Structure 1
Amino acid sequence: MNSTVNILDLCDEMLLTILNKLDNVDVLYSLIGVNQKFDRLARSIDFTQSLDLTTISSYGDDHSKIKSMFNRFCFSILPQIQHNIQCLTLDPWSMASILSIENYPKLHKLTLINLKVEMANSIFCINSSFVSIFQHQISNLVIMINGTSGYRYRWCLYSSMFAQI
Protein backbone atom coordinates (compact mmCIF):
# COMPACT_ATOMS: atom_id res chain seq x y z
CA MET A 1 0.00 0.00 0.00
CA ASN A 2 1.43 3.35 -1.07
CA SER A 3 0.78 6.09 1.51
CA THR A 4 2.35 9.01 -0.32
CA VAL A 5 0.21 11.76 -1.79
CA ASN A 6 1.34 14.17 -4.45
CA ILE A 7 0.40 17.79 -3.79
CA LEU A 8 -1.19 17.91 -7.23
CA ASP A 9 -3.61 15.19 -6.11
CA LEU A 10 -5.17 17.53 -3.53
CA CYS A 11 -8.44 19.18 -4.49
CA ASP A 12 -8.42 22.86 -5.44
CA GLU A 13 -10.23 23.89 -2.25
CA MET A 14 -7.60 22.27 -0.06
CA LEU A 15 -4.75 23.81 -2.05
CA LEU A 16 -6.41 27.25 -1.86
CA THR A 17 -6.76 26.87 1.90
CA ILE A 18 -3.04 26.19 2.15
CA LEU A 19 -2.04 28.92 -0.30
CA ASN A 20 -4.21 31.52 1.45
CA LYS A 21 -1.84 31.25 4.42
CA LEU A 22 0.98 32.62 2.24
CA ASP A 23 1.76 36.08 0.90
CA ASN A 24 0.11 36.77 -2.48
CA VAL A 25 3.37 37.87 -4.10
CA ASP A 26 5.09 34.68 -2.91
CA VAL A 27 2.26 32.53 -4.30
CA LEU A 28 2.38 34.27 -7.68
CA TYR A 29 6.18 34.22 -7.91
CA SER A 30 6.47 30.60 -6.83
CA LEU A 31 3.58 28.99 -8.71
CA ILE A 32 3.04 30.79 -12.01
CA GLY A 33 4.78 28.79 -14.67
CA VAL A 34 5.04 25.56 -12.67
CA ASN A 35 2.11 23.73 -14.27
CA GLN A 36 -1.45 24.38 -15.45
CA LYS A 37 -3.11 23.62 -12.12
CA PHE A 38 -0.84 25.92 -10.11
CA ASP A 39 -1.10 28.61 -12.80
CA ARG A 40 -4.88 28.55 -12.59
CA LEU A 41 -4.91 28.63 -8.78
CA ALA A 42 -2.29 31.37 -8.50
CA ARG A 43 -4.08 33.55 -11.05
CA SER A 44 -7.35 33.34 -9.14
CA ILE A 45 -8.80 36.56 -7.79
CA ASP A 46 -7.72 35.54 -4.27
CA PHE A 47 -4.08 36.16 -5.11
CA THR A 48 -4.28 38.83 -7.79
CA GLN A 49 -6.65 41.53 -6.59
CA SER A 50 -4.42 42.98 -3.85
CA LEU A 51 -0.63 43.01 -4.09
CA ASP A 52 1.97 44.41 -1.72
CA LEU A 53 5.05 44.62 -3.93
CA THR A 54 7.17 46.09 -1.13
CA THR A 55 7.75 42.53 0.02
CA ILE A 56 10.03 41.89 -2.96
CA SER A 57 12.53 44.50 -1.79
CA SER A 58 12.51 43.02 1.73
CA TYR A 59 14.19 39.74 0.73
CA GLY A 60 17.53 40.65 2.25
CA ASP A 61 20.72 42.15 0.89
CA ASP A 62 21.14 40.05 -2.25
CA HIS A 63 20.43 42.83 -4.76
CA SER A 64 20.88 40.58 -7.80
CA LYS A 65 18.26 38.15 -6.43
CA ILE A 66 15.87 41.01 -5.65
CA LYS A 67 16.37 42.51 -9.11
CA SER A 68 15.81 39.11 -10.75
CA MET A 69 12.60 38.54 -8.77
CA PHE A 70 11.37 42.04 -9.52
CA ASN A 71 12.08 41.71 -13.25
CA ARG A 72 10.26 38.38 -13.46
CA PHE A 73 7.34 39.86 -11.61
CA CYS A 74 7.21 42.95 -13.86
CA PHE A 75 7.75 41.34 -17.23
CA SER A 76 6.26 37.87 -16.81
CA ILE A 77 3.72 37.78 -13.98
CA LEU A 78 2.07 41.23 -14.04
CA PRO A 79 1.05 41.02 -17.72
CA GLN A 80 -0.87 37.83 -16.87
CA ILE A 81 -2.79 39.27 -13.92
CA GLN A 82 -3.06 43.03 -14.56
CA HIS A 83 -6.79 42.82 -15.31
CA ASN A 84 -7.52 41.56 -11.76
CA ILE A 85 -5.43 44.02 -9.74
CA GLN A 86 -7.57 46.33 -7.60
CA CYS A 87 -5.10 47.34 -4.87
CA LEU A 88 -1.36 47.95 -5.08
CA THR A 89 1.14 48.80 -2.37
CA LEU A 90 4.41 50.16 -3.73
CA ASP A 91 7.60 51.73 -2.48
CA PRO A 92 9.88 54.16 -4.35
CA TRP A 93 12.06 51.28 -5.53
CA SER A 94 9.20 49.59 -7.38
CA MET A 95 6.78 52.40 -8.12
CA ALA A 96 8.05 53.84 -11.40
CA SER A 97 8.56 50.43 -13.02
CA ILE A 98 5.31 48.88 -11.87
CA LEU A 99 3.10 51.83 -12.78
CA SER A 100 4.66 52.37 -16.19
CA ILE A 101 4.73 48.73 -17.32
CA GLU A 102 1.07 47.79 -17.35
CA ASN A 103 -2.47 49.08 -17.55
CA TYR A 104 -4.51 48.24 -14.47
CA PRO A 105 -8.18 48.71 -15.47
CA LYS A 106 -9.60 47.72 -12.05
CA LEU A 107 -7.03 49.51 -9.88
CA HIS A 108 -8.82 51.77 -7.42
CA LYS A 109 -6.60 51.71 -4.33
CA LEU A 110 -2.95 52.72 -4.37
CA THR A 111 -0.66 52.84 -1.36
CA LEU A 112 2.71 54.53 -1.77
CA ILE A 113 5.03 54.04 1.19
CA ASN A 114 8.39 55.47 2.20
CA LEU A 115 8.28 58.28 -0.36
CA LYS A 116 10.80 61.03 0.06
CA VAL A 117 9.39 64.56 0.00
CA GLU A 118 11.16 65.39 -3.27
CA MET A 119 9.81 62.30 -5.01
CA ALA A 120 6.27 62.96 -3.80
CA ASN A 121 6.55 66.52 -5.05
CA SER A 122 7.61 65.38 -8.54
CA ILE A 123 4.98 62.62 -8.74
CA PHE A 124 2.12 64.97 -7.97
CA CYS A 125 3.16 68.02 -9.98
CA ILE A 126 0.88 69.53 -12.62
CA ASN A 127 2.48 67.85 -15.65
CA SER A 128 3.03 64.46 -14.02
CA SER A 129 2.10 61.42 -16.09
CA PHE A 130 1.10 59.73 -12.83
CA VAL A 131 -1.60 62.31 -12.17
CA SER A 132 -2.91 62.25 -15.72
CA ILE A 133 -3.11 58.45 -15.81
CA PHE A 134 -4.62 57.79 -12.39
CA GLN A 135 -6.56 60.98 -11.62
CA HIS A 136 -9.93 59.49 -12.55
CA GLN A 137 -9.18 55.90 -11.57
CA ILE A 138 -7.85 55.89 -8.01
CA SER A 139 -10.56 56.37 -5.38
CA ASN A 140 -8.39 55.46 -2.39
CA LEU A 141 -4.87 56.88 -2.22
CA VAL A 142 -2.61 56.36 0.79
CA ILE A 143 0.72 58.19 0.84
CA MET A 144 3.37 57.74 3.51
CA ILE A 145 6.11 60.32 3.13
CA ASN A 146 9.49 60.12 4.82
CA GLY A 147 11.25 63.32 5.63
CA THR A 148 12.13 65.78 8.29
CA SER A 149 10.71 68.86 6.61
CA GLY A 150 8.93 71.37 8.75
CA TYR A 151 5.20 71.33 9.31
CA ARG A 152 4.56 74.37 7.11
CA TYR A 153 6.47 72.89 4.16
CA ARG A 154 4.69 69.53 4.48
CA TRP A 155 1.31 71.24 4.68
CA CYS A 156 2.06 73.19 1.46
CA LEU A 157 3.27 70.01 -0.22
CA TYR A 158 0.20 68.01 0.79
CA SER A 159 -2.12 70.82 -0.30
CA SER A 160 -0.39 71.01 -3.67
CA MET A 161 -0.43 67.23 -4.13
CA PHE A 162 -4.10 66.80 -3.36
CA ALA A 163 -5.05 69.81 -5.48
CA GLN A 164 -3.58 67.97 -8.48
CA ILE A 165 -5.51 64.83 -7.75
Structure 2
Amino acid sequence: MEYSFIQLNDLPDEILIIILKELNNIEVFYSLLGVNKRLDSIVLDPIFTRKLTIRRSFNGLNQLFDAVLDRFCLKILPKIHHKIKWIDVESLSLERILLLTNYPNLNGLGLYDLTAEKARDFFIDSNLLICAFKNQISSLVIDINKCEGPRSTIKDINIYIFTQILTMFKNLKYLKFGASSSAYHRLTLDPSLSNVFSSTLLELHVVLYYYKDCLYLLDGRFNQLHTLSVLMCSFIGPVLTTINSEVTE
Protein backbone atom coordinates (compact mmCIF):
# COMPACT_ATOMS: atom_id res chain seq x y z
CA MET A 1 0.00 0.00 0.00
CA GLU A 2 2.82 2.39 0.91
CA TYR A 3 4.63 1.59 -2.34
CA SER A 4 1.43 2.21 -4.32
CA PHE A 5 0.93 5.58 -2.65
CA ILE A 6 4.52 6.65 -3.38
CA GLN A 7 4.03 5.79 -7.04
CA LEU A 8 0.73 7.72 -7.14
CA ASN A 9 2.16 10.73 -5.36
CA ASP A 10 5.11 10.87 -7.76
CA LEU A 11 2.91 11.26 -10.83
CA PRO A 12 2.58 14.68 -12.49
CA ASP A 13 -0.66 16.51 -11.71
CA GLU A 14 -1.94 16.15 -15.27
CA ILE A 15 -1.54 12.35 -15.25
CA LEU A 16 -2.99 12.04 -11.77
CA ILE A 17 -6.08 14.01 -12.78
CA ILE A 18 -6.60 11.77 -15.81
CA ILE A 19 -6.47 8.69 -13.56
CA LEU A 20 -8.77 10.14 -10.89
CA LYS A 21 -11.34 11.23 -13.46
CA GLU A 22 -11.94 7.54 -14.17
CA LEU A 23 -13.14 7.06 -10.59
CA ASN A 24 -16.34 8.22 -8.97
CA ASN A 25 -15.66 11.53 -7.25
CA ILE A 26 -17.03 10.26 -3.92
CA GLU A 27 -14.34 7.58 -3.97
CA VAL A 28 -11.75 10.22 -4.81
CA PHE A 29 -12.75 12.43 -1.88
CA TYR A 30 -13.06 9.51 0.53
CA SER A 31 -9.67 8.06 -0.37
CA LEU A 32 -7.48 11.11 -0.94
CA LEU A 33 -8.83 14.23 0.76
CA GLY A 34 -6.69 14.99 3.80
CA VAL A 35 -3.74 12.82 2.75
CA ASN A 36 -1.52 15.80 1.92
CA LYS A 37 -1.76 19.36 0.63
CA ARG A 38 -0.92 18.48 -2.96
CA LEU A 39 -3.63 15.85 -3.24
CA ASP A 40 -6.09 18.16 -1.48
CA SER A 41 -5.49 20.86 -4.10
CA ILE A 42 -6.09 18.32 -6.87
CA VAL A 43 -9.27 16.68 -5.53
CA LEU A 44 -10.75 20.07 -4.63
CA ASP A 45 -10.45 21.18 -8.24
CA PRO A 46 -13.82 21.97 -9.92
CA ILE A 47 -13.29 18.90 -12.11
CA PHE A 48 -14.23 16.80 -9.08
CA THR A 49 -16.40 19.17 -7.06
CA ARG A 50 -18.82 20.54 -9.65
CA LYS A 51 -20.90 17.35 -9.86
CA LEU A 52 -21.49 14.71 -7.18
CA THR A 53 -23.12 11.33 -7.64
CA ILE A 54 -24.13 9.89 -4.28
CA ARG A 55 -25.77 6.56 -5.06
CA ARG A 56 -25.07 3.06 -3.80
CA SER A 57 -25.42 1.32 -7.13
CA PHE A 58 -23.42 3.93 -9.03
CA ASN A 59 -20.54 4.13 -6.58
CA GLY A 60 -20.11 0.35 -6.32
CA LEU A 61 -19.78 0.76 -2.55
CA ASN A 62 -22.93 -1.03 -1.41
CA GLN A 63 -21.41 -2.71 1.63
CA LEU A 64 -19.37 0.32 2.68
CA PHE A 65 -21.77 3.01 1.53
CA ASP A 66 -23.07 4.03 4.97
CA ALA A 67 -19.55 4.46 6.36
CA VAL A 68 -18.46 6.39 3.27
CA LEU A 69 -21.56 8.59 3.45
CA ASP A 70 -21.03 9.34 7.14
CA ARG A 71 -17.47 10.53 6.56
CA PHE A 72 -18.46 12.41 3.43
CA CYS A 73 -21.20 14.32 5.26
CA LEU A 74 -19.11 15.10 8.34
CA LYS A 75 -15.68 15.81 6.89
CA ILE A 76 -15.89 16.44 3.15
CA LEU A 77 -19.17 18.10 2.22
CA PRO A 78 -18.59 21.14 4.50
CA LYS A 79 -15.38 21.82 2.54
CA ILE A 80 -16.88 21.66 -0.94
CA HIS A 81 -20.56 22.58 -0.62
CA HIS A 82 -20.07 26.03 -2.13
CA LYS A 83 -18.40 24.54 -5.23
CA ILE A 84 -21.10 22.01 -6.09
CA LYS A 85 -23.23 22.72 -9.16
CA TRP A 86 -25.00 19.38 -9.60
CA ILE A 87 -25.97 16.57 -7.20
CA ASP A 88 -27.29 13.13 -8.12
CA VAL A 89 -28.69 11.52 -4.99
CA GLU A 90 -30.85 8.51 -4.15
CA SER A 91 -34.05 8.47 -2.14
CA LEU A 92 -32.54 7.07 1.06
CA SER A 93 -30.05 9.88 1.50
CA LEU A 94 -31.49 12.85 -0.37
CA GLU A 95 -32.90 14.67 2.67
CA ARG A 96 -29.72 14.14 4.67
CA ILE A 97 -27.55 15.47 1.87
CA LEU A 98 -29.72 18.41 0.84
CA LEU A 99 -30.50 19.59 4.38
CA LEU A 100 -26.96 19.22 5.70
CA THR A 101 -25.68 22.54 4.37
CA ASN A 102 -26.40 25.30 1.89
CA TYR A 103 -25.47 24.99 -1.79
CA PRO A 104 -25.24 28.52 -3.17
CA ASN A 105 -24.15 27.42 -6.66
CA LEU A 106 -26.34 24.34 -7.06
CA ASN A 107 -28.33 24.49 -10.29
CA GLY A 108 -28.75 20.82 -11.20
CA LEU A 109 -30.42 18.04 -9.23
CA GLY A 110 -30.95 14.35 -9.99
CA LEU A 111 -33.34 12.42 -7.71
CA TYR A 112 -33.07 8.64 -8.10
CA ASP A 113 -34.67 5.43 -6.82
CA LEU A 114 -37.82 7.19 -5.65
CA THR A 115 -41.15 5.55 -4.98
CA ALA A 116 -44.07 7.38 -6.55
CA GLU A 117 -45.36 8.25 -3.11
CA LYS A 118 -41.99 9.60 -1.95
CA ALA A 119 -41.76 11.75 -5.05
CA ARG A 120 -45.31 13.02 -4.55
CA ASP A 121 -44.59 14.00 -0.94
CA PHE A 122 -41.28 15.61 -1.93
CA PHE A 123 -42.93 18.01 -4.36
CA ILE A 124 -45.59 19.41 -2.04
CA ASP A 125 -45.74 23.19 -1.68
CA SER A 126 -44.63 23.19 1.97
CA ASN A 127 -41.47 21.11 1.48
CA LEU A 128 -38.55 23.08 2.92
CA LEU A 129 -36.14 21.58 0.40
CA ILE A 130 -38.23 22.80 -2.50
CA CYS A 131 -38.54 26.24 -0.95
CA ALA A 132 -34.74 26.36 -0.59
CA PHE A 133 -33.94 25.40 -4.17
CA LYS A 134 -36.94 26.33 -6.31
CA ASN A 135 -35.38 29.53 -7.66
CA GLN A 136 -31.87 28.20 -8.34
CA ILE A 137 -32.48 24.78 -9.92
CA SER A 138 -32.41 25.02 -13.71
CA SER A 139 -31.92 21.30 -14.47
CA LEU A 140 -33.86 18.45 -12.86
CA VAL A 141 -33.85 14.68 -13.35
CA ILE A 142 -36.36 12.49 -11.53
CA ASP A 143 -36.32 8.69 -11.48
CA ILE A 144 -39.30 6.79 -10.05
CA ASN A 145 -38.79 3.03 -9.86
CA LYS A 146 -41.59 1.80 -7.60
CA CYS A 147 -45.19 2.41 -6.60
CA GLU A 148 -46.17 1.23 -3.13
CA GLY A 149 -49.89 1.68 -3.73
CA PRO A 150 -52.13 0.28 -6.49
CA ARG A 151 -50.63 0.60 -9.96
CA SER A 152 -53.80 2.37 -11.02
CA THR A 153 -52.80 5.40 -8.97
CA ILE A 154 -49.51 6.02 -10.78
CA LYS A 155 -51.07 8.11 -13.58
CA ASP A 156 -52.57 10.62 -11.17
CA ILE A 157 -49.42 10.76 -9.04
CA ASN A 158 -47.22 11.34 -12.07
CA ILE A 159 -49.28 14.17 -13.48
CA TYR A 160 -49.37 15.76 -10.01
CA ILE A 161 -45.57 15.56 -9.72
CA PHE A 162 -45.09 16.84 -13.27
CA THR A 163 -47.34 19.86 -12.77
CA GLN A 164 -45.83 20.62 -9.37
CA ILE A 165 -42.34 20.66 -10.87
CA LEU A 166 -43.41 23.07 -13.59
CA THR A 167 -45.18 25.29 -11.07
CA MET A 168 -42.58 25.34 -8.32
CA PHE A 169 -39.26 25.60 -10.16
CA LYS A 170 -39.33 29.12 -11.52
CA ASN A 171 -36.17 28.95 -13.63
CA LEU A 172 -36.30 25.38 -14.88
CA LYS A 173 -34.71 24.93 -18.31
CA TYR A 174 -34.06 21.17 -18.46
CA LEU A 175 -36.38 18.44 -17.18
CA LYS A 176 -35.91 14.70 -17.51
CA PHE A 177 -39.02 13.08 -16.09
CA GLY A 178 -37.84 9.48 -16.02
CA ALA A 179 -34.16 8.62 -16.10
CA SER A 180 -34.97 5.11 -17.35
CA SER A 181 -37.73 3.45 -19.39
CA SER A 182 -39.57 2.31 -16.26
CA ALA A 183 -43.35 2.16 -16.49
CA TYR A 184 -43.52 4.29 -13.36
CA HIS A 185 -42.61 7.45 -15.29
CA ARG A 186 -45.42 7.35 -17.82
CA LEU A 187 -47.49 10.45 -18.30
CA THR A 188 -50.85 10.94 -19.89
CA LEU A 189 -51.96 14.55 -20.23
CA ASP A 190 -55.35 16.21 -20.17
CA PRO A 191 -55.47 19.31 -22.40
CA SER A 192 -57.80 20.95 -19.90
CA LEU A 193 -55.02 21.10 -17.29
CA SER A 194 -54.17 24.79 -17.29
CA ASN A 195 -51.10 24.43 -15.05
CA VAL A 196 -49.17 22.17 -17.46
CA PHE A 197 -47.05 24.89 -19.04
CA SER A 198 -43.69 26.60 -18.76
CA SER A 199 -42.25 29.77 -20.24
CA THR A 200 -38.65 28.83 -19.27
CA LEU A 201 -38.26 25.16 -20.19
CA LEU A 202 -35.87 24.58 -23.10
CA GLU A 203 -35.42 20.79 -23.06
CA LEU A 204 -37.88 18.09 -21.96
CA HIS A 205 -37.49 14.30 -21.74
CA VAL A 206 -40.64 12.31 -20.94
CA VAL A 207 -42.26 8.88 -21.20
CA LEU A 208 -45.79 9.11 -22.62
CA TYR A 209 -48.71 6.74 -22.92
CA TYR A 210 -50.23 8.04 -26.14
CA TYR A 211 -49.36 9.94 -29.28
CA LYS A 212 -51.94 12.60 -28.38
CA ASP A 213 -49.93 13.44 -25.27
CA CYS A 214 -47.02 14.40 -27.50
CA LEU A 215 -49.30 16.77 -29.41
CA TYR A 216 -50.40 18.43 -26.17
CA LEU A 217 -46.78 19.18 -25.34
CA LEU A 218 -46.37 20.89 -28.71
CA ASP A 219 -49.51 23.03 -28.64
CA GLY A 220 -47.74 26.15 -27.35
CA ARG A 221 -47.81 25.55 -23.62
CA PHE A 222 -43.98 25.26 -23.68
CA ASN A 223 -43.25 28.25 -25.86
CA GLN A 224 -39.46 28.24 -25.31
CA LEU A 225 -38.96 24.50 -25.84
CA HIS A 226 -36.33 23.64 -28.46
CA THR A 227 -35.70 19.95 -27.60
CA LEU A 228 -38.35 17.32 -26.89
CA SER A 229 -37.34 13.70 -26.33
CA VAL A 230 -40.25 11.27 -26.02
CA LEU A 231 -40.40 7.55 -25.28
CA MET A 232 -43.78 6.25 -26.40
CA CYS A 233 -45.30 3.31 -24.54
CA SER A 234 -48.23 2.63 -26.85
CA PHE A 235 -49.05 3.35 -30.47
CA ILE A 236 -52.20 1.25 -30.51
CA GLY A 237 -55.72 1.59 -29.23
CA PRO A 238 -58.65 3.95 -29.72
CA VAL A 239 -56.72 7.15 -29.08
CA LEU A 240 -54.35 6.61 -31.98
CA THR A 241 -57.25 5.49 -34.17
CA THR A 242 -59.07 8.75 -33.45
CA ILE A 243 -56.04 10.82 -34.36
CA ASN A 244 -55.55 8.87 -37.57
CA SER A 245 -59.20 9.38 -38.51
CA GLU A 246 -58.93 13.12 -37.99
CA VAL A 247 -55.80 13.30 -40.10
CA THR A 248 -57.26 11.33 -42.99
CA GLU A 249 -60.46 13.34 -43.02
What is the TM-score normalised by the length of structure 2? 0.59
Pair member with larger Rg: 2
Aligned pairs for 1:77-156 within 5 A:
77-146=76-145, 147=147, 148=151, 149-156=153-160
Using the TM superposition, name which of 116-125 and 149-158 deviates more: 149-158
Gaps of 5+ in 2: 1-5, 170-249
Percent of aligned positions that are identical = 32
- Checking the alignment, whether the CA contact within 8 Å between 2:120 and 2:157 is kept in structure 1 is no
Distance 1:154-1:6 versus aligned 2 partners, 3 A rule? closer
Residue 106 of structure 2 aligns to a residue whose secondary structure is coil
Gaps of 5+ in 1: none
Q: Displacement, 1:53? A: 0.5
Q: Render the CA deviation track for 1:115-165: whole Å, top value 9, x for unaligned.
A: 111211221111110111001010011111222444244223422343233
- Checking the alignment, whether the CA contact within 8 Å between 1:51 and 1:87 is kept in structure 2 is yes
**How many residues are paired up?**
159
- Checking the alignment, whether the CA contact within 8 Å between 1:125 and 1:161 is kept in structure 2 is no
Instruction: Name 1:27's counterpart in structure 2.
Output: 28
Residue 136 of structure 2 aligns to a residue whose secondary structure is coil
Instruction: Decide which of 49, 61, 64 is 1:59's aligned counterpart.
Output: 61
Residue 125 of structure 1 aligns to a residue whose secondary structure is coil
- Checking the alignment, whether the CA contact within 8 Å between 1:25 and 1:55 is kept in structure 2 is no
- Checking the alignment, whether the CA contact within 8 Å between 2:116 and 2:154 is kept in structure 1 is no
**CA distance in structure 2 between the partners assigned to 1:70 and 1:153 by the alignment:** 31
Instruction: Decide which of 159, 164, 185 is 1:160's aligned counterpart.
Output: 164
Distance 1:88-1:105 versus aligned 2 partners, 3 A rule? same
Cα RMSD after superposing both structures: 2.0
Q: What amino acid sits opposite 1:164 in the alignment? A: M
What is the TM-score normalised by the length of structure 1? 0.87
Q: Displacement, 1:106? A: 0.9
Residue 105 of structure 2 aligns to a residue whose secondary structure is coil
Distance 1:22-1:66 versus aligned 2 partners, 3 A rule? closer
Using the TM superposition, name which of 144-153 and 19-28 deviates more: 144-153
- Of Structure 1 and Structure 2, the greater helix share is in 1
Q: Render the CA deviation track for 1:16-67: whole Å, top value 9, x for unaligned.
A: 122122221111111001111111111111111011101477423x3xx322
